[in-house]
């Protein structure tokens, strides 16, 4: 196992950071367990995340992009019948990605903790995540982090497992 990541800075993305984040997403899309492809996420999606102040990047001590995520408040996702309505308002962590050089070092966990803290600061009672049905590593990770499997859904022509976790 690699050494855990200790020094990093997670901050809102600047417009110039959309392209590097897109490159990380494209790399992840090449993995067999990742439901992303060459069309999603696209530059327009990440640029919209950034323009809304919802795209966050993790930077290493040498200024290298280590990963990132977006916060989402999607009415279509919110309307899914599987969610615990007593845990609303809720926010979603979307497009979470870790650079290959930083995998298995706790970065995904740190990104998720940062995202949940930001959601809680915005008044959200829970965090939701849609995980592509074939993404075994992510399914295992979220379950191991205390997320409850709320159900399943078919959105955007894909099958998802729906996870949520109470924030406070």
State residue 4's pLDDT score. 64
**Domain range annotation of the chain:** 9-166
- Tokens linked to 144: 């191991």
Beta-carbon count within 10 A of 4 CB: 11
Query: Helix, strand or coil for residue 17?
Result: helix
State residue 20's pLDDT score. 97
Q: What angle do CA 85, 87, 88 make, to 5 degrees?
A: 75
State residue 72's pLDDT score. 97
Alpha-carbon span 92 to 126, nearest angstrom = 8
- CA-wise closest residue to 77 among 14, 154, 4: 154
Give pLDDT tens digits for 109-146. 999 999 999 999 999 999 999 999 888 888 888 988 99
Give pLDDT < 50 ranges for the chain. Answer: none
- CA-wise closest residue to 91 among 35, 58, 56, 130: 130
Contact 31, 75 (CB under 8 A): no
State residue 32's pLDDT score. 87
Mean pLDDT score of the chain: 93
Beta-carbon count within 10 A of 123 CB: 9
Beta-carbon count within 10 A of 13 CB: 22
Q: Which residues are within 8 A (CB) of 10 and not within 5 positions of it... i.e. 6 or more apart?
A: 56, 57, 58, 59, 110, 111, 114
| Alpha helix positions (H), the chain | 18-29, 43-51, 75-78, 107-121, 136-144
Architecture of the domain made up of 9-166: 3-Layer(aba) Sandwich (3.40)
State residue 134's pLDDT score. 81
């Amino acid at each position: 196992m690699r050494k855990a990541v200790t020094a990093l800075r997670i901050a809102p993305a600047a417009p110039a950071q959309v392209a590097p984040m897109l490159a990380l997403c494209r790399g992840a899309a090449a993995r067999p367990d990742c439901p992303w492809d060459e069309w999603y996420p696209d530059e327009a999606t990440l640029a919209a995340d950034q323009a809304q102040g919802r795209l966050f990047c993790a930077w290493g001590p040498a200024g290298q992009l280590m990963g990132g995520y977006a916060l989402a408040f999607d009415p279509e996702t919110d309307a899914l019948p599987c969610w615990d309505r007593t845990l609303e308002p809720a926010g979603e962590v979307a497009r979470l990605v870790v650079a290959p050089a930083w995998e298995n070092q706790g970065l995904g966990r740190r990104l998720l903790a940062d995202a949940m803290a930001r959601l809680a600061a915005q008044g959200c009672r829970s965090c939701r995540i849609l995980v592509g049905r074939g993404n075994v590593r992510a399914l295992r990770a979220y379950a191991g982090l205390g997320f409850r499997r709320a159900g399943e859904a078919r959105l955007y022509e894909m099958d998802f497992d729906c996870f949520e976790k109470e924030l406070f």
